[in-house]
Amino acid sequence: MQAQAEPAGTATDLLNQLLRPHRAVVLLIALPGIFSVPLLIAQMWYLAKIAAALLAKSPFAGTDVFLLALCWFGRTALLLAKDDIAQHLSRKLRCQVRQHLLAQLAALGPLRSRFGSDGALSTLLTEQVDALDGYISRYAPQQILVLAAPLFILVAVAFHSIFAALLLLLTAPLVPLFMVLVGREASKASQQQLQLLSRMGGRLYDFLQGLPLLKRLNATDIAAAHLEHAAGQYQQGSMKVLRLAFLSTAVLELFSSVAIALVALYLGLGLLGELPWHKAQLLLPYQSALFILLLCPEFYQPLRQLGTDYHARAQAIAACAEFRALYQAEHNSPQKAATQVYLVTCPVQAAELNFHHILVGDVSAPRLRINELSIKAGEQLLLSGPSGSGKSTFLQLIAGFVPFSGEVMVDGIRLNSSSIYQLRNQIGYLQQQAELLPGTIADNLKLAKSDATGEEMQQVLTQVELWDFLSRQPEGLDYRIGDFGAGLSGGQQQRLALARLLLQQKPIWLLDEPFAELDEDTSLRLSALLQRISQGKTLLLVSHQFSQLGWLNRTLRFEQGQLVFTDDLSKNNKDNTTLAASGQNTPPGVADA
């Protein structure tokens, strides 16, 4: 399989790209925080005024208490509004990212496996997308607040003491400096942790998928031990990330505390008249000194908060690094083709397909190369060849899941790499292991046609010879199956999948190794059933089992990513019957290739 091309840009670029359309909302989030700063300054002034009056044992005005309470309530309301808008933006943006990733997976189809197992992808769509929350709701708005809030406070302090304002200004850069130094290690640890979480999700999915086999082999204890070991590694990684987060917070608190202590020392010596350059002189009145001292922690608070939220930024960048390849994956999609003027509506009946100079992948190492191929309407073909020869890639090409060069003609209408996706509406697809969900038979059939009636479902189940089994069950269509079709045999699972194909009424059927996991007797019965129900369909069937497929029209032989020859099976049905009786497994012409 061709390796996925490295997407352009970095994880930080993707994070900025996601947030760029919402910059106005980020500013709107920061505005309540900015407006709350003057209220904070006024609140501290009234608090210092009341404290100074109490120290002097003089009465204070009741309006001061009222204004103090008013400032506190107003500031609290603004900060609550800020948090509410931030959470709304975070939910909206994460929902958009998740929907885009789901659309990418739907457009990629079977090619999604190159981005990880289904378990890893499910972790990516849940845990890793949610890791963006802290960056969106806290860090991005805080980048604006960290510039505006200290500036307001600095002006208020300078009005009372220029020297105290200079002390604040000189010590302020220490906080972001150490924030970055410690934050680098936190970013690396966060990325490693997300990768570990993704692998653990994939391992858990594989464990659940193979649980019946593990039980038969009495190997559940071994698998559980591996899961326990993976969980232990994840726990250790989580503790490492937490240690770095606490270390970062402790460093920031230390330096802000030292800076506040310097200002407090200056103010204290000034009140005592012990400053060397102001001996026996009162530098500031008590109310001003207390006002400055109350504002000092608030001056460093936005910087400390940014340092704390820097860990959220590290998590968001690590998450973007994980899903960036999938988010920016190139594929054939309706959105990409929407700008094309030659969009056509594909026929609802089986049509003739012609392929000219098709190339999938690099010229030097193609995944698939077809010079010329014509498939007549209603023709039924066997795709043969060794594993990795290009058979499945050919099915993915027809379904519009892989980009290619060349052209495909549908009844004389030209479709290229950007518009071939339109064929998907005419295609039914069945893989070697039917994708069945836990639930009733009716639930699984309605995945193909949501408004299917009970009569329609019974009709298709009768056609695939499954209704006889279900009619003997008390539940009938409400017969429940478990994970991976538990409750049905392998042959019954494929019959249920074929019933879904019949419900869809698609003129083109693509079947990828439908007999691979069935015994020979079940394969023969299913082949005979398929021959009957696929009449009038254009059928492309990938299989290594040839003896029971003599009813197909032609064989397309693939080797090393190239279509090497075609063979007319309809002329060799008699020879196929002989081969089947002798137990051979090679159609006529293949052995001579």
Secondary structure string (H, E, C) spanning 41-67: HHHHHHHHHHHHHHHCCCCCCHHHHHH
Contact 546, 462 (CB under 8 A): no
Name the CATH architecture for the domain at 11-327. Up-down Bundle (1.20)
CATH class given for the domain over 353-582? alpha beta
Q: Determine the pLDDT at residue 346.
A: 41
Residue appearing with tokens 């499945």: 392
Report the alpha-carbon distance of residue 151 to residue 3 in Å, rounded.
51
Backbone angles phi, psi at 299, to 5 degrees: -65, -40
Whether the per-residue pLDDT at 12 is higher than 60: the answer is yes
In sequence order, what E strands does 329-399 have?
A: 353-361, 366-375, 380-384
- 128-171: per-residue pLDDT in tens? 888 888 888 888 888 888 888 889 988 998 888 888 888 888 87
* Predicted pLDDT at 341: 32
Find where tokens 């806290």 sit. 138
Q: Which residue has the higher pLDDT, 91 or 349?
A: 91
User: At 338, is the pLDDT very low, low, confident or very high (cuts 50, 70, 90)?
Assistant: very low
Taking the C-alpha atoms of residue 51 and residue 121, their distance in angstroms, rounded to an integer, is: 59
- pLDDT mean over 398-413: 81
Q: Which of 103-112, 298-307, 492-501 has the lowest mean pLDDT?
A: 103-112
3-state SS of 175-229?
HHHHHHHHHHHHHHHHHHHHHHHHHHHHHHHHHHHCHHHHHHCCCHHHHHHHHHH
**Does residue 406 register a pLDDT over 90?**
no
As a whole number of angstroms, the distance between CA 69 and CA 42 comes to: 11
Predicted pLDDT of residue 42: 92
pLDDT above 60: residue 573? no
* Helix ranges restricted to H, 273-285: none
How is residue 124 annotated by DSSP?
I
Percent of the chain whose pLDDT exceeds 90:
6
Biggest CA-to-CA distance, the chain: 119
Say whether 377 sits in a helix, a strand or coil.
coil
Least confident range from 14-23, 67-76, 320-329: namely 320-329
Q: Is 198:124 a contact under the CB 8 Å cutoff?
A: yes
* Domain spans, the chain: 11-327, 353-582
Q: Which of 15-24, 176-185, 419-428, 545-554 has the lowest mean pLDDT?
A: 176-185
Flag the least confident range among 190-199, 242-251, 331-340, 386-395: 331-340
Mean pLDDT score, 322-341: 59
CA distance 239 to 307: 19
With beta carbons less than 8 A apart as the criterion, state whether 475 and 439 touch. no
The pLDDT, as a whole number, for residue 180 is 64
